[in-house]
Chains A and B, each alone.
Chain A
Amino acid sequence: QVQLVQSGAEVKKPGSSVRVSCKASGGTVNNYAISWVRQVPGQGLEWMGEIIPVFHTTNHAQKFQGRVTITVDESTNTSHMELSSLRFEDAAVYYCARDLPRSPGGGVFDVWGQGTKVTVSA
């Protein structure tokens, strides 16, 4: 059974960048799309974008276009999400999530990382 294990909490200054990692254990990250979803404290869930490793293609929500970079390192079975030009409102818990293997078209998230808290503070 695949598990996704994320990197630890980060504290960043406004204007800087943060890179969050998501390592797959018990399986390969290569065969399924990996999405990144964030949750501002006390609020709902927001999809940021995805990478489809087998094609090395990415899709992003327009809101994050130009600020988010999602990559995958097949040699380490890890996906990375980098968010640049951080603002106070980017403070959130960031999750990686895997597409349900048999879902047509993607976008059904059956395995989630534990979440990474990102604090933005001057």
Chain B
Amino acid sequence: DIQMTQSPSTLSASVGDRVTITCRASQNIVNHLNWYQQKPGKAPKLLIYSASSLQSGVPLRFSGGGSGADFTLTINILQPEDFATYYCQQNYSKFPYTFGHGTKLENK
């Protein structure tokens, strides 16, 4: 299985900040990397796919980058509704698709 490692596991930030979450794959996954946001009691929401493509309807303050094994999710000008848990996920190999353990973005 491809292992996905996110850092940090918890991130404290304030409204208006710029934050970056990193995700490292255990092997080269080219650009087959997706990012999801999940709020308590809700299903995950797709933010970014193919490493850097913004899903329809997602605010432009979200951006993704990277390739190979190292990826980032950046949120510019953090908004109150952005405090949530973020997961990366690889779809390079479906045996199985795997997720990172999540990064909880909390209000400082």
By the criterion of a CB under 8 Å from any partner CB, how many residues of chain B are at the interface? 22
Contact (Cβ within 8 A) A110 B55? yes
Contact (Cβ within 8 A) B44 A105? no
Q: Which residues of B contact A44 (CB under 8 A)?
A: 87, 99-102
A6 to chain B, nearest CB (A): 9
Binding site for B on A (CB under 8 A): 35, 43-50, 59-63, 95, 97, 100, 103, 105-110, 112-115
A100 to chain B, nearest CB (A): 6
Contact (Cβ within 8 A) B95 A62? yes
Known: A103-B50, A105-B32. A112 touches B43 (CB 8 A): yes
Q: Which residues of B contact A108 (CB under 8 A)?
A: 34, 46, 49-50, 91
B6 to chain A, nearest CB (A): 9
Task: Give 19 A-B pairs besides A107-B91, A107-B97, A114-B43 with Cβ atoms closer than 8 angstroms.
Answer: A43-B101, A44-B100, A44-B102, A45-B102, A47-B96, A47-B97, A49-B96, A50-B94, A59-B94, A61-B95, A61-B96, A62-B95, A63-B96, A100-B46, A100-B49, A107-B32, A108-B49, A110-B49, A112-B45
Question: Shortest 3 CB-CB distances between A and B: which pairs?
Answer: A107-B91, A61-B96, A112-B43
**Who on chain B is nearest to A108 by CB?**
B49
